Structure formats: C-alpha cells, structure tokens
C-alpha cells in the first residue's frame, strides 16, 4: 500500500504543478488541503505530500499558521534559472564527452530523439498534440545527457531548476500551446540539438559544453523577449498562465 500512495502523491504533485503553470491559482493565495482533495477527488494524504513537495521545489511557500501559499517569480529569476541550468547541462555535456566508455547506446538514443523531433516538423504547421510531444522529446534529450554524465548532483540540481515556470520543458507547455510561429522555434531547437549531438559523438568536450551553454542561453533570451513583448501588449492579463510571473 505505501508504494501506491507514493505513486498517487507523485501524480497529484504533477497535476498541481501543471495547474500552477496554467495559472489556476493566484500568487499569494493559500492552497487548502481539504478543498484540493475534494477538487481532485482524492484523500487528503497525497495532497498533503504533494504540497510539501511543491514547497520544496520552490513553487509554494510554507508559512506557519497560514499554510502553503502560491509564490510569484520575477522575470530575472526565470532568466537566471535558465542560465544556471545551462551551466549545469553544459558541464554534463563535457562529462559525457570525456567518459571512457564508448556510450554508443546513449548517442544512438539521442540521434533517434533528434530524428523524432525533426519528424514532427515535416508536415508544416504543428498540431497541439505534436507540440506537447515535441516538449516530451526535448525533455528526454536533456535528461538523457544529464543521466549519462554520471553525476547525480548535476541531475538533481538541473531537474529542480527546470521545474520553475518557463525554466524547463514542463513549465513551457502553456506557452508552447499558444505561441504563434512555434515551428521556427522548434526548427532552431532541432538544429541546436543536432549540433550538440555531433560534438558529443566526436568527443569534442569543449565544443559540446559551449553549444549546450549557448543553446540554453538562447532560451533565456527568448523567454525574456517573449515576456517583455507580452508586458507591452494589451490583454496580457487575459493569459492566466502568466500569473506566476511578477508584473503580469
């Protein structure tokens, strides 16, 4: 029975995380255990565990006598998080390229991933379902490099940062679903992933490190530009997925 509860609490954690990213709760609002359990049709225990997990991730803040509150993030916090993630994953690329074993299976898996991402773009305008599939493949690409680096600390830190709004694929879902011209963004991502893979296969550790750093630095600048444009656009308050970002 405990493993089932753990699995259920993880599912509730993911569900609440996505609700936060979608803007289901206002920053500063209190997430009440009983109300959430009723809303999600589960018992209070997995909700309690999920709230604690989200507080540990930094998406919620726990305050005595008040409970778990939704926090907001500044644009600079998000940009900084993406850049720190870039440094960590750049290090993972260097470690992977320098590992003694051939890592052929890892490179083959990464190549299949890049091919699958490119395949989603062959039909012109990409569907909503394929946008999410692309994000899943993107997550798998970055996770595979982290895991193959052999450094568990890198894996833990990078994944924690990636759970911040817009700092990783999970938090980018609401944006990607609404972004006009997302095909061009995805095409650039495929090219950059391909370049990272080429450097890894060639065992060019410095090049692989630099390309991953540049890849995620570019993401940080794209997020900054996107949010700056929305801030200057009328009606941005009608986009609930921006609620976790200060100034929106």
Higher pLDDT, 183 or 111: 111
More confident residue, 244 or 97: 97
- For residues 63-89, give the mean pLDDT: 94
Catalogue all structural domains in the chain, each as residue range(s) with its CATH number: 2-70 (1.10.10.10), 75-234 (1.20.120.530)
Going by pLDDT thresholds of 50, 70 and 90, the confidence category of residue 219 is very high
Q: Output the 3-class SS for the chain.
A: CHHHHHHHHHHHHHHHHHHHHHCCCCCCCEECHHHHHHHHCCCHHHHHHHHHHHHHHCCEEEECCCEEEECCECHHHHHHHHHHHHHHHHHHHHHHHHCCCCCHHHHHHHHHHHHHHHHCCCCCCCCHHHHHHHHHHHHHHHHHHHHHCCCHHHHHHHHHHHCCCCCCHHHHHHHHHHCCCHHHHHHHHHHHHHHHHHHHHCCCHHHHHHHHHHHHHHHHHHHHHHHHHHHCCCCHHHCHHHCCECCC
List, for residues 170-205, the tens digit of each pLDDT value. 788 888 877 778 889 999 999 999 999 999 999 999
Q: Please, what is the average pLDDT of the chain?
A: 89
User: Cβ distance 32 to 69 under 8 Å?
Assistant: no
Q: Is the pLDDT of residue 133 over 50?
A: yes
Q: Select the more confidently predicted residue: 6 or 39.
A: 39
Give CA–CA dist 108/111, Å, rounded: 5
pLDDT band (50, 70, 90) for residue 5: very low
Look at residue 237 in the predicted model and tell me its pLDDT: 53
- What is the separation of C-alpha 120 from the centre of its chain, rounded to a whole number of angstroms? 20
């Amino acid at each position: 029975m405990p493993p089932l509860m753990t699995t259920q609490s993880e599912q509730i954690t993911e569900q609440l995380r996505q609700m936060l990213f979608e803007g289901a709760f206002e920053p500063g609002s209190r997430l009440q255990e009983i109300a959430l359990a009723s809303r999600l049709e589960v018992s209070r225990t997995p909700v309690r565990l999920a709230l604690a997990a989200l507080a540990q991730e930094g998406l919620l803040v726990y305050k005595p006598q008040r409970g778990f509150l939704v926090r907001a993030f500044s644009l600079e916090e998000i940009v900084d998080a993406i850049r720190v993630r870039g440094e960590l994953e750049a290090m993972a690329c260097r470690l992977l390229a320098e590992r003694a074993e051939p890592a052929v299976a890892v490179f083959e898996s990464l190549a299949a991933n890049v091919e699958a991402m490119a395949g989603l773009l062959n039909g012109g305008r990409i569907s909503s379902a394929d946008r999410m599939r692309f994000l899943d493949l993107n997550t798998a690409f970055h996770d595979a490099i982290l895991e193959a680096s052999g450094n568990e600390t890198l894996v833990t830190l990078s994944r924690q940062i990636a759970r911040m709004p817009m700092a990783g694929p999970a938090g980018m879902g609401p944006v990607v679903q609404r972004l006009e011209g997302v095909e061009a963004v995805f095409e650039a991502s495929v090219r950059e992933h391909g370049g990272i893979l080429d450097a890894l296969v060639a065992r060019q550790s410095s090049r692989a490190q630099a390309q991953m750093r540049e890849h995620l630095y570019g993401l940080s600048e794209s997020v900054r530009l996107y949010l700056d444009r929305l801030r200057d656009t009328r009606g941005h308050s009608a986009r609930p997925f921006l609620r976790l970002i200060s100034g929106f």
